Amino acid sequence: MPRRPLPLYALSVFEAAARHRSFTRAADELCLTQGAVSKQVAQLEAQLGYPLFLRGARSLALTAQGELLRPYVERALSTLERGVEAARGAGRRLRLKAPSCAARWLLREVRQFSREEPDIAVEVSSVHAHQVDFAREPFDLAVVFCALPADAALTPLFVERLTPVLSPALRDAEGLPLATPDDLAAWPLLHPSPDRRDWRRWFAETGGDAADADGGAVFDSLDQAMNAALQGFGVTLGDVTLLADELAAGQVVAPFDVELVTGSGYALARPAGAAGGPAARLYDWLVSRHAVPDGAWRGGLARRAAAG
C-alpha cells in the first residue's frame, strides 16, 4: 500500500505552534487566523492518528508524541530552507572549465569580474584537458586551447606567445651568459611537453641548433613547466599572457626581446543555444576585454614590447 504523503504545510504550522506554545502567536507569525492554525493542527493529528497538543482553557502543551515529533520537523524544515537557498544560489553560480595552464590567467579575470558582479559566483575547474563537451560535462562556459583561427563556435581570447623565462635567482646563481639563443645550450631546459616541440620550434625560428632541445626535464603541461621555472629549476618557454603578473613582479625574467607566436591560442566556448543570464554576462565581459584581432595568430617570431 503506497505511503500517504506528509502534509508539509500542516507540519510547518505545527512547528510554529509548538515553538510558541500558542495557536494565537503562531497565527500572528504565519499571517493566519487562530482558527486556521487550529484547523491545520487538527487535520494533521487526524492524519497521523495521535494527538500533538493538550489543549487547556488558557494553555497549550505538547503531548509525548508532539514532543518527540517536534525536533524532527524542525530539522526537516531547516534542511528544506537550506536546499531552497542553495537552489536559488545555483542560478547565480557559473561553472567554468579551463586547462590548468590557463587557470592562473583565468583566476585573475574571475577575481576582477567578481568585484564588478558580486552577486554572481564563479567556480573554476582546472583540468588537464584542452577541450570541452557540453553534452557530457556540467559547465556553463569553457576556455579551450586550440589552433587559430578557431571555428565559429569559439571566440578567441588571446594568442599563445612563448618566450624563454627563468627565475632571477637561477639567473644570478648560474652566472652564465644569456644574451643569444645559442647561450641556452648551457642552461637546464624545461620542456612543457614530452615531444619537446616548443623548444625545437624556438630554435628553428631563431636559427639555433635544434639539438640543444634534446636535454632537460620534461613535463606534461605548460603550467607544470612554468611553475618549475618559477621555483628556479631551469629555463622554460612561458606564455607571456599567462605569466603577465609574474613578469611584472619580477618573479620570472624574460631575457630575450622576441616571442614565438605559435598560431594557437585560448578561446571561449559556450553551449549551443545558450541564452542570457549570468553565463552570458561573464561571456560578454571576457570577450569585451580580450578580443583577438584578425591575423594576430599568424605564427612566427615577433618583437616583445619590452625585454623582461
pTM across the whole model: 0.69
How many Cβ atoms are within 10 Å of 246's Cβ, its own excluded? 19
* Predicted confidence (pLDDT) per residue in 200-252, tens digit: 999 999 987 777 788 899 999 999 999 999 999 999 999 999 999 999 999 99
Residue among 245, 232, 240, 225 at smallest CA distance from 167: 232
Asked whether the CA dihedral 306, 189, 103, 160 is positive or negative, the reply is: positive
User: At residue 276, does pLDDT exceed 80?
Assistant: no
95, three cell numbers? 561553472
* Predicted confidence (pLDDT) per residue in 84-143, tens digit: 766 665 556 799 999 999 988 999 999 999 999 998 999 999 888 788 998 888 899 999
Please work out, in degrees rounded to the nearest 5, the angle formed at the alpha carbon of residue 249 by the alpha carbons of 243 and 255: 65
Instruction: Kindly list the structural domains of the chain, giving each domain's residue range(s) and its CATH number in brackets, ordered by start.
Output: 8-90 (1.10.10.10), 93-158+264-289 (3.40.190.10), 161-263 (3.40.190.10)
Residues 6+ apart with CB under 8 A from 65: 48, 50, 51, 52
Residues 6+ apart with CB under 8 A from 200: 210, 213
* Predicted confidence (pLDDT) per residue in 7-26, tens digit: 889 999 999 999 999 999 99
Identify whether the C-beta of residue 253 lies closer than 8 Å to the C-beta of residue 130. no
Alpha helices in the chain (DSSP H): 8-20, 23-30, 34-48, 64-90, 100-116, 168-174, 197-206, 222-230, 244-249, 278-289
Confidence of residue 303 (pLDDT cuts 50, 70, 90): confident
Residues 6+ apart with CB under 8 A from 266: 102, 105, 143, 144, 145, 156, 157, 158, 160
Identify whether the C-beta of residue 65 lies closer than 8 Å to the C-beta of residue 51. yes
* Secondary structure (DSSP) of 11-34: HHHHHHHHHHT-HHHHHHHHT--H
Confidence of residue 299 (pLDDT cuts 50, 70, 90): confident
107, three cell numbers? 583566476
Tell me, what's the pLDDT at 1? 43
How many Cβ atoms are within 10 Å of 138's Cβ, its own excluded? 8
pLDDT average, residue stretch 27-56: 91
User: At residue 306, does pLDDT exceed 60?
Assistant: no
